[in-house]
Amino acid sequence: MMNIPLSITTTIHDWLFSIMPEGAATITEWVLIAVAYLALFAVAGLYLVLLERKVAAWFQFRLGPNRVGPWGIFQTIADALKLVSKEIYSNQKVDKFLFNLAPYFVIVASLMAMAVFPFSKQFQGFDINIGVFFLFAVSSIGVIGLLVGGWASNNKYSLIGAMRSGLQTISYELSVGLSILTMVLLTGTLQLSEIIEVQRTGGWLIFQGHIPAVIAFMIFMIAGTAETNRAPFDLVEAESELGAGFHTEYSGMQFAYFFLAEFINMFIIASIAVVLFFGGWLSPFGITEGITWFPEVLWFVIKVFMIILLMMWFRWTFPRLRVDQLLTLEWKYLLPINMVNLVLMAVIIWLNFTL
């Protein structure tokens, strides 16, 4: 069962096994964990949308959402209710089965990725010894949803957006993978909880790894932003060219799934960065001691929040790249730098130059 405080899990576990057969109790525990993650998924997605709108307003000297609830904090909930109430409509020529299936690829991939993150020492849904490899695997599923949705829409703009998505994801996954591999080389483990434990005694990996770790972080943030199809890499949804890109034909909750998944993917990229470079849930004040009265989950959330703000800063600062600039940045600059950086990290470890 999920690693949350033992007093809670033990109480629930004992109660369930006292009122129902073992098999039914186990399935019920799985359902409860799934519901908890779905709730986290929904709440995080809704309030990241609100944060995006508030940050955009701040950059543009506007107020942003301010009518629904105090300071507009319930605006995205109202928007979600509006989308739930809207009719799901598609044109006559779509491939209905694939058209309806595509949003679930994106949502399920994001949910699976969230399951392996250690939000604290006690709060982790699925702690496996190949956690980094698992993230690689499930993150590749999401782009299938974009490709399938764009193709099944039978719309040339959707198809162009889907093809751009495949091109962009395949290209920038290389840089994301190599930057993560650089840090895996430093820690010697693929297990996310172990990567955090390495930082308990030695300090954050971005400091342990010297210059190669800093370079890996910079490349990871650039490539990770491209992976989430966010500006300045939002050619997949280039409104001035493609309408809405791959989800032009989607409406109602199907559109909401794609929209929500983009923000959850941003949360996932930020969480990976926090685990690999900034100590995960460890306190920044005396990493070996920590601040006992401050919950570990809050340290994790605060760090993730700061990385997300950085990604939003990118969006409202840089103009959109052209397709040729997008590919040039990856294949001529990021990928070669990443490969040299990986070798440099190996040399530093071999010479025992780490902190």
pLDDT, tens only, 231-246: 889 888 777 777 777 8
Question: What confidence category does residue 1 fall into, taking pLDDT thresholds of 50, 70 and 90?
Answer: very low
Question: What confidence category does residue 311 fall into, taking pLDDT thresholds of 50, 70 and 90?
Answer: very high
Is the model's pLDDT at 3 over the cut of 80? no
Phi, psi of 137 (to 5 degrees): -65, -50
Name the average pLDDT for the chain.
Answer: 87
- pLDDT, residue 328, reads 94
Q: Which two tokens stand for residue 200?
A: 């308990």
Q: What is the DSSP string of 85-154?
A: HS-----TTS-HHHHHHHHHHHHHHHHHHHTT--SSSS-BS---TTHHHHHHHHHHHHHHHHHHHHHHTT
217 or 352: which leads in pLDDT? 217
Is the model's pLDDT at 216 over the cut of 90? yes
CA nearest 226: which of 172, 276, 160, 181? 172
Torsion of CA 279, 281, 282, 285, to 10 degrees: 100
Q: CB count, 10 Å around CB of 325? A: 13
DSSP structural state of residue 11: H
Q: Which two tokens stand for residue 199?
A: 């930082």
Residue 3, classed as helix, strand or coil, is strand
